[in-house]
Amino acid sequence: MEDSGRQISEAVERLALTLGESGAVPIAELVRALERAAERLRTRTSPSDEVPVDLVTQAEASRTVGVSRQAVNQWVRKGILQTYSSGDGRGAVRVSLSEVAIAANRHATPTVFSPVRRRELEQFLDLIDEASTRQFARELVVALEADEPSSDRYADESRVLREFVVAAMDTGSRQREFTADGVRLLSDLRPQFAIDRSSPFGRLCDSLGLLVYCSDGSAGFDSPVTALLGLLGASTVGSQYQGGDATVGSSIAAAARRVWDTDWPTRLFDAAFYTGELHRSPLTRYTASLTYLDNNRFLRQAQSTGVSLAYSRGPGPLLPQRFHGAPIQYDILTGDYRGTPVWGFTPEAAAAVGRPADISSAVNPFRIFNYEYGLLDSSIHGIRRYCFSVPDARKELIDTVRPMSMTQRQVYLDSATETLARTLASPQIELVAIDRPEDFDWWKDHIIRSSEREILLGLRDERARKIAHALLVQTKTLPDVIEAADSDSSLRDRLRIYVKNLEFDVIEARYQDDLRRGVARVISPGGRTLDYDASHAMASEELRSFLR
């Protein structure tokens, strides 16, 4: 069979070469057709008798997604939703939770930034009257009132995105993230909102790892969304530290409380979400801190399909330090963890660990937002497909507990079990393990999370990573990259293939393909609700398997 397959492959290769060399088919079109055919074969649709892994009753689906049972029944009657046999011999039918989420979001009323919410945001920005933030807040108000970004900035961001795509369209070991020109363009891109790093606010944001930098020495935020996230970061984690600059964070939090009372963090997340709906750019640079803060907005934007995808080598649901961040983890191990607010930690932890800019992004204190206001937030409907690398998670878990005392080890493992149990108990989360290191490929390492609306790409290239932790790419802008390519038709066709690979439907197809081929193992399918005892037992067994 192996020889037969090789002969067929060689025959197809000879046919393609003959067609290209004879001029019967333009080479560019031939390459494009072959790559599209290969992609279809790899991600071909599943057989009609294959059922989804997230089957639930209609009642369970309505409770989980947050719609009425009558709506689910109506979608079934109209053929919008497909039903599946439960397989228990009782004749009961079930529905796919992800398909219900998609239907719910497609039939939902579009979200709008209400005049009341807009006025509240403007009132908050007006109240930020500390000297080092006043000008920044005024510039942000002006940007929020603008209809769209300037054409020059849009062109600059598109050029950077094009250089990224050109570099990364190679295959195998030749894959890169940026050409030398791309790195230069990335570092030359001036932030839309410049921040004086010598001012109290600038020093605080700098120490929190919230600012992106330009080669001319300027620093700041690339978009209104990241600017709002910067204010949120300074007023939460930033206010937990000691020093004169940290008082700026406390003053921002005080202004937010005057407008929104105790609900101010959620309202600031709302503002970032609606701002992102109104102000989109082709490409935005993200620091690690901004990446974790923005998970809330990303998941809410993913509601257009009801499904999001994320891949991780160091999963927070299994590794407490990656869930809580280093300062809170310090308090957990010393017995001083208070739990409120979710980002809070003691002065002792702050002094022992340091500020985010000085520690690894893996234990950044903003990671708590990634989960508490993102992955585990039950107010955000839809399925979160969270995939992780088992070998990487196992290695980090063992390396972390090895030097600990028996007492600390038990505290750590209890914390890990509680976090994983809480994750498994959430019906919105589809937790998936990838057991072999060779199956966690370049694409999975590259894509932090994705939806039809946008893709967040984690950077590995050391040159580019000094400038940004990740790049947020708006998917609707990707076709413009092809149009902006050189006149070389072959290059344009290769770009088209790469751009297609960045699209959510291809990433989703690869995910489903991994499930079919057994490359990915579903630990907990979306839609399943577990009680405390069941989720705790399941979490304990999974973690025990890591330590064997």
In a shared domain, residues 345 and 445: yes
Pairing mode, if any, of strands 93-96 and 193-194?
A: unpaired
In a shared domain, residues 376 and 434: yes
Q: Is residue 90 part of a domain?
A: yes
In a shared domain, residues 100 and 128: no
- CA trace torsion 474, 504, 511, 385 (10° rounding): 60
Q: Is residue 48 part of a domain?
A: no
Q: Is residue 179 part of a domain?
A: no
Lowest mean pLDDT among 235-239, 403-407, 524-528: 524-528
Q: Is residue 517 part of a domain?
A: yes
What confidence score (pLDDT) does residue 129 get? 77
In a shared domain, residues 135 and 235: yes
Half-sphere exposure of 73 (CA within 13 A, CB side): 4
For 33-83, how does the pLDDT look when each residue is reduced to its tens digit (9 = 90+)? 666 566 556 555 444 456 777 788 888 887 777 677 888 888 888 888 888
Lowest mean pLDDT among 165-179, 201-215, 517-531: 165-179
What confidence score (pLDDT) does residue 46 get? 45
Q: Is residue 176 part of a domain?
A: no
Which of 264, 279, 294 corresponds to the end of one domain? Answer: 279
What confidence score (pLDDT) does residue 28 get? 55
- In contact, 57 and 84? CB cutoff 8 Å: no
Lowest mean pLDDT among 135-139, 224-228, 328-332, 492-496: 492-496
Which of 255, 279, 303 corresponds to the end of one domain? Answer: 279
In a shared domain, residues 312 and 211: no
Tell me which residue has tokens 């190679």: 170
Q: Is residue 368 part of a domain?
A: yes
Alpha carbon distances (Å) from 534 to 248, 412, 489, 531: 45, 21, 57, 5
What confidence score (pLDDT) does residue 427 get? 87
Lowest mean pLDDT among 219-228, 431-440, 479-488: 479-488
Q: Is residue 96 part of a domain?
A: yes
In a shared domain, residues 243 and 290: no
For 15-37, how does the pLDDT look when each residue is reduced to its tens digit (9 = 90+)? 777 776 666 665 655 665 666 56
Q: What is the CATH number of the domain that holds 73?
A: 1.10.10
Average pLDDT estimate for 77-91: 73
pTM, full prediction: 0.82
For 344-385, how does the pLDDT look when each residue is reduced to its tens digit (9 = 90+)? 999 999 999 999 999 999 999 999 999 999 999 988 877 899
Between CA 199 and CA 131 the distance in angstroms is: 9
Between 25 and 229, the higher pLDDT residue: 229
- For the chain, helix, strand, coil in percent to 5 are 60, 10, 30
In a shared domain, residues 273 and 297: no
What confidence score (pLDDT) does residue 464 get? 87
Range of the domain at 31: 2-42
In a shared domain, residues 464 and 487: yes
Burial 335-359 (b: 16+ CB within 10 A, else e): eebeeeeebbbbeebbeebebbbeb
Q: Is residue 73 part of a domain?
A: yes
What confidence score (pLDDT) does residue 325 get? 97
In a shared domain, residues 411 and 324: yes
Between CA 210 and CA 190 the distance in angstroms is: 15
In a shared domain, residues 121 and 251: yes
How does the average pLDDT of the chain come out, rounded? 85
The DSSP secondary-structure symbol of 380 reads: S
What confidence score (pLDDT) does residue 416 get? 97
Between CA 478 and CA 496 the distance in angstroms is: 9
What confidence score (pLDDT) does residue 48 get? 46
Which of 279, 302, 330 corresponds to the end of one domain? Answer: 279
Instruction: Please check the confidence at residue 227 and state whether its pLDDT lies above 80.
Output: yes
In a shared domain, residues 6 and 93: no
In the chain, the number of structural domains is: 4
What proportion of the chain, given as a percentage, has pLDDT over 70?
Answer: 86
In a shared domain, residues 298 and 373: yes
For 240-279, how does the pLDDT look when each residue is reduced to its tens digit (9 = 90+)? 999 889 999 999 999 999 999 999 999 999 999 988 888 7
Between CA 124 and CA 137 the distance in angstroms is: 9
Phi, psi of 461 (to 5 degrees): -60, 120
Average pLDDT estimate for 419-427: 94
What confidence score (pLDDT) does residue 79 get? 82
